[in-house]
Chains A and B, each alone.
Chain A
Amino acid sequence: MSLLQVEGLGISFGGVKAVNDVSFALDTGRIVSVIGPNGAGKTTLFNMISGVYLPKSGKVLLDGEDVTGLRPDLLAGRGMSRTFQNLQIFHEMSVLENVIVGFHMHERGPVLSDLLGLPGSRRRSRAAAEGARVLLERVGLERAAEREAGALSYGALKRLEIARALAAGPRVLLLDEPAAGCNAVETEEIDRLICEVARTGVAILLVEHDMKLVMRLSDTIVVLDHGEKIAEGDPAVVSRNPKVIEAYLGAGTTEALHAHG
């Protein structure tokens, strides 16, 4: 039994099937990437797995338990965490606070204790702050800890989101285009970070347009086109699959595949 199993997941918007009958599995410490042309349904699939959308058909199993359509905060409690394609940063809060929020499930306690600033409340906050500093160091943002998050560069924000997602201590981490809009150096950093995280035993599901990154990192690639899974396998096999090349030809991004190929 795999850690995360997606079985026949499907959803329609206004009669159009955005995702149809997609299945795959993800194991501890592995990296599975979902690729496909724009509009193939990658982010929609992500939103269904992470509880943002309620799928019309199919199931999501986490450690064998049905978690389909479970609220994101409850999913987080079960060990699923994610980042967002369009950054979702708490701009008005400091970099450190952004990551501390990731520890919410560990640091939350009685509201009254927080209002009165009781020692228990302060202890919880302190522990979360310490954990957050360790994570900031891990993503190379320790020197920006006290800065307002809104002031960071795009690449730094991407890493900040990953740090926040890691704070929850996930078993499954969903990364939605972590390298989008990043320059070569930033992409390099994110590449290294993802490998490191996978090595610690976190199962990673990745949506990414940067094919070099995908080919280098992935253990398995799932290819979507028009909401359907058209191929699945290791990078070498998938990149030679005629259906995949065809799908990308249509979208005009073959050079990326060939570049690797």
Chain B
Amino acid sequence: MRLSSKQSTLLVLAALMIISPFFFPSNYYYRVGSLVFVNAIAVVGIVILTGYAGQISLGHAGFVGIGGYACALLPVHLGVPPALAVVLGAVLSGAVAYGVGRPILRLKGYYLAVASLGFGVLVAMVLANEGWLTGGPDGIKVPDPGLRALLESLGITLTNPQFWYAFCGLVLFVGAWLALNLHDSPTGRALRALHGSEVAARTAGVDVAKAKLNAFVISAVYASVAGSLLALQNRLITPDVAGFMHSIELVTMAVLGGAGSVLGGIFGAALLTLLPQVLTVLQDYEHVVLGLVMMLVMIFLPAGLIPSARRLLRGRGE
């Protein structure tokens, strides 16, 4: 039986997640791996928004911040269990995205990029300045969700990095599965259609403003969950996760790997998370090399790494 592209993507993803640890020389690599997964979760959301629907958000780190601080603040102030805080953070992010997106997405053009940019900056500033609540620029401690202890009581013993590697990997896998479902569903087709031609999508009966809003809200939830997982595994969250640079990083990861493809987005996230780890050798030149890599990819492989590679393979196959 021939595998659908959804099945093969999920298979490749699962295989990489399971096989990689066999090559990890130390526990530290689990930690890097789970960071890759966390970024990839947010980037899969960007793939839906930018890759499918063609909309650009320059403030998605704001939702990462909301998700992260939800896990820090809700358990302490409202006595909510951390696991539930992840869900509440996602709901809040979705609601905020709806509130920000609804008036903006009725307009044509680049309003979303500008408005989301403002939104992201606002969130980062509030988190940094309202020290009485958020701990200010130094960040705030995040309580232990107790999931690892739960597993231990069931007889599964994992080191802390191993646990987060597995857990974030699982969430990423589910996130990728959802995004792939969406791709070939009526909703996903409507998004890709309006990306291609808004006027034609509209004529086909697509409520373009509503469709864009759907994509924006969904992608905000992905970013929020990523922020929550980051906060929970670091046991600390700082305002710079909501910063402008982080928003740009997320978009770059998606575009580098290939914004239209889920696997591409994940690959981009992996690459841009790992590259700085490798490039510490070149410390001072890290940003130079990073910028150079991006420029070369954009010039020679504008569709992004994974779609370009796929096209190349297909071309050879025929």
Interface residues of A (CB under 8 A from B): 50, 52, 71-73, 76-77, 81-82, 84, 88-93, 97, 100-102, 104-105, 107-109, 111, 114-117, 121, 124-125, 128, 164-165, 167-168
Contacts and interface: CB of A to CB of B under 8 A. Distances in A.
A52 B108 CA distance: 13
A114 B192 contact: no
Interface of B: 177-178, 181-182, 184-190, 192-193, 195-197, 199-208, 214, 218, 260
A101 B173 CA distance: 28
Given A90-B192, A125-B185, A84 B199 contact: yes
Nearest to B303: A92
B192 A92 contact: yes
A107 B178 CA distance: 19
B205 A115 contact: no
B191 to A, nearest CB: 10
Contact of A115 (B178, B199, B202, B206): B178
Contacts of B178: 115-116
B208 A73 contact: yes
B196 A89 contact: yes
Given A92-B196, A117-B185, A165 B260 contact: no
B186 A104 contact: yes
Contact of A101 (B181, B204, B207, B208): B204
Contact of B190 (A82, A108, A115): A108
Nearest to A108: B186
22 contacts: A71-B202, A72-B203, A73-B208, A76-B203, A88-B199, A88-B200, A88-B203, A89-B196, A92-B195, A93-B189, A97-B189, A97-B192, A104-B186, A104-B189, A104-B193, A108-B190, A111-B187, A116-B178, A121-B185, A125-B185, A164-B204, A165-B203
A108 B189 CA distance: 10
A100 B185 contact: no
B185 A82 contact: no
A18 B142 CA distance: 64
